[in-house]
Structures are given as structure tokens and as C-alpha cells.
A = this chain, B = another copy of it.
């Protein structure tokens, strides 16, 4: 190393919670925000209660790249439900009627995501400039 090894011990504690094994949700939750759909789902659910098919539709129209598949939407919602971010309510058998909404915890996570999105947007000019500069040198 060059000058550090000073703050490394301090990092160790922070890192202990960064693992993914068990009781260590940090990496798992960061992975949620980083994946293809979850942040988008949180943003939509932030507007109210949504049924599965409507959610699928609005996600498609918002992402504009490509629609989420039904399978993945179910998977993402399941994960969010398991982590206590989303509440799933069934009010019909055949045809099923299932709706999803954020829990308090989920609303908190949405707030964090929005804060992060805000920071990135505030610095998107600098990021874009760095990329342009880097790509020109290469």
C-alpha cells in the first residue's frame, strides 16, 4: 500500500455487515437498487396500490426500452415482499386479484433511492464529461 492501512481496521466493522451470508442485508439491498427493475418498481409503488398486470403495463411504458416479463415481475415483487418492503394482498380467487403496495420500510427505501437518484442527476453532467474525455483518449 502507499500511505494507508490506517483506516482499514475501521473499515473492517463496516465490512462485516457488507457480506451477503445471513443477517447481512447490506449487499442484498444494494443489489435490489442496482438491478434492472426494482428501483423502478419502488418508484411506481410509491404512487399507490397496483395490481400485477397494471404494474407490468406501466413499467413497460415507463422504461421504454423493453417490458418486464411476468416471471421477473413476480420474482422482484416476491423478493421485495420477503424483505418487508412490499405488502401483497389477495382479494379474489378465480380470476385472482392481487395488489401490491409499499410498507413503511419500503417507503423508506424508496426515499433513499430517490436521494441517490437525485445525487446522480445532479452530477450527471460531470459523469458524462468524464466519459467523453475517457473515450476520446482511448
Q: In the assembly, what is the distance between CA of A108 and CA of B2, in Å?
A: 22
Judge whether A19 and B64 touch: CB under 8 Å. Answer: yes
**Chain B residue, CB-CB nearest to A112:** B119
Copies in the complex: 2
Point out the residue from B1, B4, B34, B127 that lies within 8 Å of A84, measured CB to CB: B127
A127-B25 contact given A34-B35, A65-B20, A108-B119, CB 8 Å threshold: yes
With A and B bound together, what is the CA distance between A39 and B24 in angstroms? Answer: 15
Considering only CB atoms, which chain B residue lies closest to A31 in the complex? B34
A interface residues, tally (CB under 8 Å): 69
Do the beta carbons of A7 and B48 come within 8 Å of each other? Answer: yes
A34 touches B30 (CB 8 A): yes
* A3 interface contact, C-beta 8 A: yes
Would you give the shortest CB distance from A28 to chain B, in whole angstroms?
8
- A94 CB within 8 Å of chain B: no
A64 CA / B24 CA spacing, docked (Å): 13
Q: Does A43 have its Cβ within 8 Å of any Cβ on chain B?
A: yes
